[in-house]
Amino acid sequence: MDPVLHRLPAAFWTVPYVGSRFPGSSEVTDRPGLEEGANCQLFAYEVLRHFGLAPPALRSSDLWADTQATAHVSAAQPLDLLLFNATDDAYGAHVGVWVNEGRVLHLCAEVGRPAVWEMTEFAVRQRYRVLIGIKRVVDTKRDTIG
């Protein structure tokens, strides 16, 4: 098993998909954490926080535009964020966490709980067929995984 998945607590695997629980929503502000569910962004950010990173609580298009807390990278490393959509528009994009060797941990409505998919599994689904790009949280305390 790879280091990211091996070091993820069991509670992460039971998080239900709840689209209304996204970064900045009143549901999250009033009741933080993952116990009541999350959308893909909130889930991905909590995974990164577990490993000591401090991702900004941004929606996908703002994450893509961000240059202060994250950087665009061309090749993914463990704990990088990947954005997928039906088009190359970052607005409403799906966010997952690179695990290793073409595998991405994510929380999607289709499955209803966290899943690990190969990149090919995203490519065959219309809503995830475009990899918009990869973002890396810029953090000097980044956990070295991989």
| Region of poorest pLDDT, from 5-9, 73-77, 85-89, 90-94 | 5-9
Domains of the chain, CATH where assigned:
3-137 (3.90.1720.10)
Q: What's the CA dihedral at 130, 59, 82, 56 to 10 degrees?
A: 160
How far is the first Cα of the chain from the last one, in angstroms, to the nearest whole number?
A: 11
Residue 144 has a pLDDT of 54
pTM: 0.92
The percentage of the chain sitting over the pLDDT mark of 90, rounded to a whole number, equals: 77
